[in-house]
Structure 1
Amino acid sequence: MLVEWDVPIEVDDGTVLRADVFRPEAEGRYPVILTYGPYAKGLSFQEGYPSAWEKMAADHPDAVAGSTNRYQNWEVVDPEKWVPDGYVCVRVDSRGAGRSPGVIDVFSPREVQDHVLCVEWAGEQEWSNGKVGLCGISYFAINQWLVASRRPAHLAAVCVWEGAADWYRDSTYHGGIRTTFWDHWYGMQVSSVQYGLGDAGPRNPNTGVNVCGDENLSEEERAANRVDLGASIREHPLDDGYHRDRSPDWDNVTVPVLSAGNWGGQGLHLRGNTHGYLRAASQEKWLEMHGDTHWSLFYADYGVSLQKRFFGHFLKNEDTGWKEQPPVQLQIRHVDSTFTLRHEEAWPIPRTRWTSLYLDAAHGSLTPEPPATPGSVGYDGMGDGVMFETPPLPADTEITGPLSAKLFVESSTADADLFLVVRVFSPDGTEVTFQGALDPNTPVAQGWLRASHRKLDDELSRPYQPYHTHDDPSPLVPGSVYELDVEILPTCLVVPEGYRIALAVRGRDYVHDGPATRLSNLRNQMTGCGPFVHDDPHNRPAEVFGGRITLHTGGDRPSRLLLPEIPR
């Protein structure tokens, strides 16, 4: 393997980005796997993300086998596993990060343009066969949707592994409620490796050079070279031009797509993969859904094999068997955290039996028929809310697909935030949670809605998947009852006989009863929702959202939960 460090890529405004290129020693033209992002290409996975590395190595030893792991980076491919198969791996430090100078403005049109130009540069090098694939996790997946929207000539395929798509709905405002994830992420993972840290930053273990450039800029100079991400998001509470500039143009996403999502990635690593699969205009597209931590399977044999079959077909014209790959590949989840591989022909699964369970306020139950007698139950608008449960299930029941709820709600104030959690309990009352993308105690499914954002897009909405415009909020009149359709993100679980399904309607984020945990790259402790919490007091002032919420059921207000039941 030949390694070229800090290769210059000059973009259209004269800025010189820096890339590391790993390529076969033999002369020839090879397909390219390219990544572009802000995590600093010279920062090793092991040093930058030690707790994530240790968990992956312990749980998936195949992920670190067969490699010296000298060139491992966070959320991108290991060149030692790709270059021997005839690929060139190109890693680019995004503008303002690592060894690339400039102003950091994540997912912005300027950054997307840089990424597009890097794709075209890679496709035109003497060692390139002209076909470039994008492959990476999270950040390196989100920006793939944006680059694909620009349709660069040399882009031949994308593998979007656990990447959000819609900047508003998937990333910054869940159901119209702001998440503070990006505020903390920016400080922990981006500004910590900003260009200009120089001698104060880490060093590349392979070359000994400064990971964050050779300039030693002051904190004031570095602050001037990065957009205040949290403030930018806070200033745009609706789905406006700021958010649309950072979201895909689905009609332009025509490149072959492998979209891989995580059942436990409810805050960031789930919705974009299923929606992206459905909405992309690509004629050749596949969906894969799995569990476990959001980085491990990407590096494990399972993920690498899947990625190589996909890229071998589209970048090398090899017979990898991909022509026979069904459109949908699902890891069906069981309550003991094991999975069963199954293929389907479409998403949602065509044979889905859409099953309504009706809320009964009088008994706190979920029933197959709406209660004949109207009822209501109240709760604190910023409290733990109320929960409705089924009786013990008479048979094993598989729930796989998107969910939704229709609720009839009134508030004593001008608004209300609804946090919906689908939960499962064993016969002894123990809640079933899972290792999610990040949080080890992730519930079965979650959904959110700010009541003033109840307006639906009639063209995009489906009964099982309401789609809100988030552009025309309408305050509530205290005491009036409103019909709200709430999107609950997709899930997959075979619920055994004797277990119970529950719907919690809350006024704040879900919290698991067990002890909190932490990852080294995250600021907040994880208590069930990982870092994807909604705790901005400016976005949720108590005088507006801390009123009394009344949930109506039965009669002419049949509140209900819609489940995607899969027949045996």
Structure 2
Amino acid sequence: MASTTEEKLAARFLDLKFVKLRAASEHPQFSCPGFLQTKTVLPKGHVKSPGRKAFPTDVVFERDVAIPMRDGIKIYTDIFRPTDSETNKVPALIPWSPYGKTGSGVYQYDTMGPFRCGLSPDQTSGYEKFEAPDPAEWCGRGYAIINVDARGAGMSEGNISWFGIQEAEDIYDTIDWLTTQPWCDGSVAMIGNSWLAVAQINFASRLTHPALKALAPMEGFNDLYRDIIARGGKPHHAPFNNLLLSGFAGPGSTENVPGMLTNRPLFDDYWQSKYIDTANIDVPLYLTASYSSGLHIAGSFNTFRTAKTKQKWLRVHPYQEWYDLYRPDITDELQRFYDRFCKGIDNGWERETPPVRLSLLGFDGSSAPTIKERPENEYPLARQQLVTYYLDASKYLLLNKPPQVTSTASHEAHSLTASTDFTLTFDEYTEVAGYSKVILWMSCAEKDDMDVVVNIRKVDSSGKLLEHLNYPCPVAIQDVPNTNVVKTLGPEGHLRVSHVVSRDETRTKNNGQEVFYAHDCREPIQPGTATRFEITLWPMGMVFEKGEGLMLRISGHEMIHPEVDFLKLKEPDDENEGEHVVYTGGSYDSCLILPVI
């Protein structure tokens, strides 16, 4: 009989797939310093390598400390803490992921984005975990940094688990162990971007621990199927998902979550086991969001909106998440948040911090300045007005009134470049913030299904498509490589049209503006017959001067840039065939509904 969680999961999902990993010492891209269970003091002024940030205070550095899990597995962590912490005990901050610890791992800022993601080497010490706080900065502020290698990663025993209950139990056991350490004051918190953010909400949605005082999920997803693996019900981000698999190193295997889509193309009990129900979270939350990720936008906003805790704050910034994480003013703000909830310091955090700070992008080349972190009371904004603009395929325009005459436009469905585009010009200064939706009538004569992607781009007064730089670059924007890390284009929505039948009205929100598809069933469409469907795009925030506008693009392929440069698609990732025809006017109410402020 299965006794451990891993055994129970294997018994429940008999088709569970795993990929054997290379050892950390043998992985060609994994920076592994070896297994050294040592304890040293990094003195004030210590520099890991020339040009890196120096430690402002003495710090105890304990390497490869074993933490026992409930099933007998040992995971290993590096611990950084103030030298006097056994006398003056401190809270512990956990950045949790399987990406490597303390400067190790495949993923490094030098290679993940142009111009080192806007981060100069001297901004961090080099001892930080990828997407995590710098120990050189935080130990001097009175915190310990716990750089964990999650189960199965690095030298940690077992197999890598992608979120779910296994990871939650491991985090619980780690928190429990930390509270028994002589230097810990009994308070534990978590912090970090991406996987490190998802790990936080995954834990807090499934389990609770009295020592966990605060979370800072700084951009992550909560729905592995809909956000990452099969957005809109179609296979999605395959190169990125395979990059994750190839970047892991450890003694065992990793769960092959992307590979599970082959056997389980519809949302079922396996994908539900990975779903993170953020409504269960009742821990103080410092949340960030931006428009710069093809991975984290939906989940970041959703966590803020649904978490049941009343102590939650959302900061929507105009940058990329790694650049934002190490901004000095943000480090100060994060300390203030943790001081309030981990140390109990009455520093005015609740009284002085707006529940929402919202940025709206002006875009490079526009006369409209970007609005940075404007205080708001809620999200979506209560004062939004849903304004409908109708597609006119005869003029390729978006109009205030529905066209009386029916017209059509078409594009090659299985193409990396083809699209049907409609333009809207604003006759006055306009702000758009929230969830946009399209209603479309489309057909395909060659197949009984369609993969459809819609994208909103900002255009200047001459109709030129604009881009937004997510961090400062030393060259003109046209010379910056086209990757999503550095350039924001605009929000997208995806749908495999045969999944329209799975629409769930009980989870559709905002007067129908936010359409929810369960993706648990499909029904083929009639080839050559116009089919009506609706797609909600991920959140957007844009500001337009008079004469500027937007372009609604309809295609079979993703139209934002790849997450990183070396993941550019050489072939479309859709399963389309032939031409897709868009119907507008007359009895076809194809339209774009915008949340105008």
Q: TM-score range by the shorter chain?
A: 0.7 to 0.9
Residue 393 (structure 1) aligns with: 426
Query: What are the equivalent positions in structure 2 for 1:547-558 lying under 5 Å apart?
Result: 547-558=578-589
Which consecutive residues of structure 2, in runs of 5 or more, have no partner in the other structure? 1-58, 471-482
Q: Is the 8 A contact 2:92 2:184 kept in 1?
A: yes
* Distance in 2 of aligned mates of 1:396 and 1:494: 8
Q: Is the 8 A contact 1:182 1:229 kept in 2?
A: no
Residue 204 (structure 1) aligns with: none
Q: CA deviation at 1:290?
A: 1.4
Query: What are the equivalent positions in structure 2 for 1:85-100 lying under 5 Å apart?
Result: 85-100=141-156
Residue 118 (structure 1) aligns with: 174
Q: CA deviation at 1:335?
A: 2.0
Q: Is the 8 A contact 1:419 1:448 kept in 2?
A: yes
Q: Is the 8 A contact 1:42 1:98 kept in 2?
A: no
Q: Is the 8 A contact 1:399 1:492 kept in 2?
A: yes
Query: What are the equivalent positions in structure 2 for 1:476-487 lying under 5 Å apart?
Result: 476-487=525-536
Secondary structure, counterpart of 1:263 in structure 2: coil
Secondary structure, counterpart of 2:153 in structure 1: coil
Q: CA deviation at 1:6?
A: 1.1
* Distance in 1 of aligned mates of 2:571 and 2:594: 25
Query: What are the equivalent positions in structure 2 for 1:47-446 lying under 5 Å apart?
Result: 48-52=108-112, 55-56=115-116, 59=118, 64-65=122-123, 69-149=125-205, 150-179=207-236, 180-190=238-248, 194-196=249-251, 225-265=253-293, 267-324=294-351, 325-336=353-364, 338-383=370-415, 384-390=418-424, 392-412=425-445, 413-435=447-469, 438-446=484-492
Q: CA deviation at 1:269?
A: 1.9
Letter in 1 for 2:250: Y
Secondary structure, counterpart of 1:226 in structure 2: strand
* Distance in 2 of aligned mates of 1:262 and 1:189: 25
Residue 523 (structure 2) aligns with: 474
* Distance in 1 of aligned mates of 2:209 and 2:169: 10
Q: CA deviation at 1:160?
A: 0.7
Which whole-Å deviations, capped at 9, do the CAs of 1:157-208 have from their partners, x for residues lacking one? 1111111111111111111111114433224432xxx124xxxxxxxxxxxx
Letter in 2 for 1:28: N
* Distance in 2 of aligned mates of 1:7 and 1:306: 30
Letter in 2 for 1:374: T
* Distance in 2 of aligned mates of 1:339 and 1:399: 12
Residue 458 (structure 1) aligns with: 505
1:506 corresponds, among 547, 555, 569, to 555
State the Cα RMSD in Å.
2.4
Residue 524 (structure 1) aligns with: 567
* Distance in 1 of aligned mates of 2:178 and 2:526: 57
Change (3 A) 1:420 1:103: same
Which whole-Å deviations, capped at 9, do the CAs of 1:380-409 have from their partners, x for residues lacking one? 22241211112x322221111111111122
Q: Is the 8 A contact 1:329 1:344 kept in 2?
A: yes
Change (3 A) 1:368 1:302: farther
Structure 1 window deviating more from structure 2 (446-455 vs 477-486): it is 477-486
Which whole-Å deviations, capped at 9, do the CAs of 1:299-357 have from their partners, x for residues lacking one? 11133123222222111112333112111112232123844230100000111121111
Residue 66 (structure 2) aligns with: 8
Which consecutive residues of structure 1, in runs of 5 or more, have no partner in the other structure? 197-221, 526-530
Q: Is the 8 A contact 1:294 1:438 kept in 2?
A: no
Q: CA deviation at 1:461?
A: 0.9
Letter in 2 for 1:452: S
Secondary structure, counterpart of 1:350 in structure 2: coil
* Distance in 1 of aligned mates of 2:71 and 2:127: 31
Which whole-Å deviations, capped at 9, do the CAs of 1:119-148 have from their partners, x for residues lacking one? 222233232222211100101001111100
Structure 1 window deviating more from structure 2 (102-111 vs 42-51): it is 42-51
Q: Is the 8 A contact 1:331 1:342 kept in 2?
A: yes
The alignment's TM-score, normalised by the length of structure 1, stands at 0.85
Residue 212 (structure 1) aligns with: none
Which whole-Å deviations, capped at 9, do the CAs of 1:214-242 have from their partners, x for residues lacking one? xxxxxxxx5xx233343123332222122
Q: Is the 8 A contact 1:156 1:315 kept in 2?
A: yes
The alignment's TM-score, normalised by the length of structure 2, stands at 0.81
Structure 1 window deviating more from structure 2 (79-88 vs 181-190): it is 181-190
Letter in 2 for 1:169: R
Residue 81 (structure 2) aligns with: 23
* Distance in 2 of aligned mates of 1:503 and 1:54: 28
Alignment length (residue pairs): 512
Which whole-Å deviations, capped at 9, do the CAs of 1:239-282 have from their partners, x for residues lacking one? 212212112133421111122112121x2021100111112222
Q: Is the 8 A contact 1:22 1:83 kept in 2?
A: yes
Q: Is the aligned partner of 1:449 residue 2:495?
A: yes
Secondary structure, counterpart of 1:503 in structure 2: strand
* Distance in 2 of aligned mates of 1:456 and 1:47: 38
Q: Is the 8 A contact 1:293 1:438 kept in 2?
A: no
Q: Is the aligned partner of 1:43 residue 2:103?
A: yes
Residue 559 (structure 1) aligns with: 590
Change (3 A) 1:145 1:47: closer
* Distance in 2 of aligned mates of 1:182 and 1:51: 15
